[in-house]
Amino acid sequence: MRNLPIHLAAMVLGIAIFALPAAADDCLSCHRLKTPAAVRLWEKSAHAGAGVGCAACHGADHALIDKGAARVDMKVCGRCHSKALLEHKASRHGMGLHSGWGCTRGLSNRNPNECSFCHEEGSRAPQSQVECARFLKQSSEMGEAGCNRCHEVESSCASCHTSHGTDLKIVRDPNVCAKCHMGPDHPQWEMWQTSQHGTLYVSAGSSAGPVCQSCHMVNGSHNVSSGISVSSGGEPLPAELGASRREEMVQVCENCHAQAFARKELSRDDAIREQSRALVKEAEKIIGDLADHSLLDPMPDQRPPHPLRGPKLVLDSQMLYEDTSHIERLLFKMKKYDYARTIKGAYHQNPAYTHWYGNAELKMDLIDIRSEASRLRERKAVAGKAAGGLQESAEEKLRALKNKAERGALSPAEYEREKARLLEDPAGAGKP
C-alpha cells in the first residue's frame, strides 16, 4: 500500500505514453500532406472544437486502418450520437438495405474485398438477412459503385453527413438526398425540385418552401420512414401502421396547411395509387397466364436461374431486369419506373410526374404488354399449325393447371377434376 502512489503514477504515465500516438496532432503532421481535404474539414468541424481527434473514431492501429478494417461506421458514431442512431435504425434507411444482399462468394470472378461490405472482420454471420436478386446479378465493381454507394446508408452516417465534416448545412441541403433519390426508379429529388414546394424553396427560401428534410426528417429526426404509409414498392402498409403513419404526415402538412386540405390531398393521392396499382396487377396477371402456358420467351427454366428463387417466374420486389423475357422487362419498367413515378409524383405534388412521366407511361406500358402477349399467343398458334396442328401437350396443360391452382385461379376441386380428365383422356390428352 505504501507504493500505491508510485504505481498510480506509473499507470498514468503508461496510459499517456500509449495514448500519445493516437492524439490528433500526431496524425495531422502527416495527414495535412496526405489527406489535406480531410484535415481541413475536420479542423472546421464540431468534432475538432470538442476535442474529438482522429483516433476517437478511427482507432490508433494504423495497420488496421491501412487494411481498411477500421471503418468508421454507424456504431462508431452511435457511441456519442445514440439518439440519432436509434432513429436511423428504426427507419427504412437503417433496415438492412445494404447488408446481406445475398452472399456473392459462389459467383465467379468476385473481388474478395467485397466480403467486408456485409461481414465484419472475423465474423461469418452477415449483418442482416435481406437479399437482393438484382445485386447478385452485378459484377463486383458494379455492385460496389452502383448499389453499395447508395445502400451503404444503412451503416454509414458519412453516406449523408460526408466524412470529417460536421456542418449541418450539408445534410440540410436537399442535394444530399439527390445522390440516391433521383433517376428513373424514384426521382423524388427531381419531383420536389420542379414542384411548387421546390420552386418556393428556391425563390423564397426554406420558410416558404419545404425541402426533403422538412417533411421526412421532422425536427431533425433520423427516422426517415415517419409519415410514409406505403412500402418502397408502392404497396400499402398494414392498416394500423399505415393509419398511424398517415397521421404523422398530416401533422407535418399542418405546419403549413389546413388539416382538411392535407387529408384531401393525400386521399386523392391514395386513389391515384390504387388506380395505378390495378394497372400493374392486370399486367402481372397477363404475364402469369402466359407463364402458365409456357409462352414466355424464354421461360424461366430456359434462362440463367434467378439468384434467389432459381428457375421460377419472379414478378415481385425481387424481379430482374436482365436475363428475363421481353414482356417481363416491360413489366419491370412499368412497375419499378412508371408506377413508382406516378405515386411518388402524386405524393410529392408534381403534376407532370404524376401524369406524363408516370400514369401515361403506365397505360402505354399496359398496351405494349397486351400486344406482346397477343404476339406470343399467335406465335404459339402459328408454330402449332406448322407442326401439323400440334395441340398443347399434356405436360403443358398439367403445368398450366398447376400454375392456375397455385395462383388461386382454380379451386382445389376444379384442379382435381381437370387433372383427372387430362390423365384419363383416352384420346391422347394424357399422353406425353
DSSP 375: H
Rule CB under 8 A: choose which of 235, 247, 395, 414 binds another protein: 395
Q: Which residues pair with 306 in a beta bridge?
A: 310
**Own/partner pairs for 76-85, CB < 8 Å, 24+ apart?**
77/157, 80/52, 81/157, 84/157, 84/222, 85/222
Instruction: Give the nearer residue to another protein in terms of CB position, either 244 or 302.
Output: 302
The cell for 231 is: 412500402
Check binding of 420 to another protein (CB under 8 A).
yes
Candidates 236-244, 273-281, 343-351, 416-424 — which segment interacts with another protein by CB under 8 A? 416-424
Cis, bond preceding 426 (omega within 30 deg of 0): no
Q: Which of 149, 245, 399, 407 binds another protein (CB under 8 A)?
A: 399
Q: What is the DSSP letter of 156?
A: -
Stretch of 62-70, 130-138, 219-227, 398-406 lying at the interface with another protein (CB under 8 A): 398-406
- Near another protein in 290-309, by CB under 8 A: 301
Considering the complex, what minimum distance in angstroms separates the CB of residue 119 from another protein? 8
Any contact of residue 423 with another protein (CB under 8 A)? yes
Instruction: Output 19 or 423, the one with its CB closest to another protein.
Output: 423
Interaction of residue 432 with another protein, rule CB under 8 A: yes
Residues in binding contact with another protein, number by CB under 8 A? 16
Q: Least CB distance from residue 112 to another protein, whole Å?
A: 8
- Residue 301: CB minimum distance to another protein, A: 8
**Residue closer to another protein, measured from CB, 257 or 407:** 407
Report the residue number, 167 or 301, with the smaller CB distance to another protein: 301
**Cα angle value 360/365/370 (rounded, 5°):** 130
Alpha carbons 245 and 223: distance in angstroms, whole number? 12
**Would you count residue 312 as binding another protein (CB under 8 A)?**
no
CB of 227 to another protein, least distance (A): 41
Kindly state whether residue 311 participates in binding another protein, applying the rule CB under 8 A.
Answer: yes
**Site for another protein contains 288 (CB under 8 A):** no
Q: How far is the CB of 420 from another protein (least distance, A)?
A: 8
| Cβ proximity to another protein, 243 vs 423, nearer residue | 423
- Judged by CB under 8 A, which of 402, 407, 409, 418 binds another protein? 402
Stretch that binds another protein, among 170-178, 197-205, 337-345, 419-427 (CB under 8 A): 419-427
Measure the CA angle with vertex 216, ends 214 and 219; round to 5°.
55
Among the listed residues 398, 409, 418, 429, the single contact to another protein using CB under 8 A? 398
Is 428 near another protein (CB under 8 A)? no
Return the closest-CA partner of residue 158 out of 327, 45, 285.
45
Q: What is the DSSP string of 263-328?
A: HHHHHHHHHHHHHHHHHHHHHHHHHHHHHHTT-SSS-GGGSSPBTTTBSS---STT--SSSS-HHH
Sign of the CA dihedral 410, 415, 419, 421? negative
| Listed ranges 177-185, 269-277, 328-336, 395-403: which one lies at the site for another protein (CB under 8 A) | 395-403
Site for another protein in 46-75 (CB under 8 A): none
Q: Please, which residue, 218 or 398, has the CB nearer to another protein?
A: 398
364/85 Cα distance (integer angstroms): 43
**Residue 27 to residue 230: CA distance in whole angstroms:** 47
Q: Spell out the residues 6+ positions from residue 399 whose beta carbon is closer than 8 angstroms to its own.
A: 292, 294
256 sits in the region (left: phi over 0; alpha: psi -120 to 50; else beta) called alpha
Closest CB to another protein among residues 282, 425: 425
C-alpha cell of residue 252: 407535418
Min dist CB 305 to another protein, Å, is 10
Return the number of the residue (281 or 312) whose C-beta is nearest another protein: 312
Contact set for another protein, span 92-131 (CB under 8 A):
105-106, 124
Contacts of 341 (CB under 8 A, 6+ apart): 184, 186, 187, 353, 354, 357, 358, 361
Number of H helices, E strands in the chain: 25, 0
Binding site for another protein (CB under 8 A): 105-106, 124, 301, 311, 395, 398-399, 402, 419-420, 423-424, 430-432
